[in-house]
Amino acid sequence: MRLAAAQLSIAERLDRVSLILEPGTITAICGPNGAGKSSLLEALAGLLPAGDGAVFLDRQQIAALPLRERARRIGYLPQAHEIAWDVPVRSLVELGRLPHGDRLAAPVDAALDALDIRDLENRRAQSLSGGETARVLLARVLASEPQWILADEPLAALDIAHQLSLLKHLRRAAQGGAGVVLVLHDLAHAMNHADRVVVLDRGVVAADGACEDALDQQVIERVWKVPVRWIGEPRHRALVSR
């Protein structure tokens, strides 16, 4: 089930952005601060009006989908990691089942295990550290078993071990047929773990394609204005200045 954007134009944010995103793959959205990454992800999730354009899920405009149906199909993790209610962690993760109208234990347990937070399930949500909070909120998304996982900077508050663990889980989700779209600032993670990279620059698509092409040295120097080079083997690359 493809997720597609057609001519998204949002004043001072996006300028005629068009994409067709494939299920079963990981797409990284990269770009400098203020490039429009979060706005694009919000528009894809149906949370931001598409302006003169439209977002389609399997050829149906997402704006026309009932909210419960949209929530079943698309799981969205915002950049801000805030928890309003001081409930037990397990209860918070169970909220991911609301669009389905159930509290099935199996997907909740799977999400807790995937994010390595089973030992936190009885903790109060507002007692968590920043990294723990980030993992709990993503577990809530995973518990809904969405067809599409859209996450804005999901690695930002995590240590390296949990970053790599999460990326492996998202790869497994893609292999299971889900579409995964991640906003990432870490270009090495995008290069090594995504199937496709979309580079935004001041609201327009500056590059789009395989990681090696979309994040080549010339693109990075043109968009980020820094001289760099890649070292290492494919899927194990590091970015260094030159």
Percent of the chain with pLDDT over 90: 82
* Domain ranges, ordered by start, for the chain: 3-241
Q: In what order do the strands lie in the sheet with 3-10?
A: 14-21, 3-10, 54-57, 60-61
**Does the reported pTM lie above 0.75?**
yes
- pLDDT in the model for residue 81: 77
CA dist., res. 51 & res. 221, Å (int): 31
CA nearest 218: which of 210, 209, 228? 228
- pLDDT in the model for residue 13: 92
DSSP string, 155-187: TTTS-HHHHHHHHHHHHHHHHTT-EEEEE-S-H
Lowest mean pLDDT among 25-39, 55-69, 211-225: 55-69
- pLDDT in the model for residue 228: 94
Mean pLDDT, residues 148-166? 91
Pick the CATH number of 3-241 from 3.40.50.300, 3.30.1700.10, 3.10.129.10, 2.60.300.12: 3.40.50.300
CA nearest 146: which of 177, 109, 123, 114? 177
Mean pLDDT, residues 148-159? 92
- pLDDT in the model for residue 1: 85
Average pLDDT, the chain: 94
Q: Give the pair of three-digit tokens for residue 188.
A: 């090495």
- pLDDT in the model for residue 49: 86
Q: How confident is the model at residue 84 (pLDDT cuts 50, 70, 90)?
A: confident
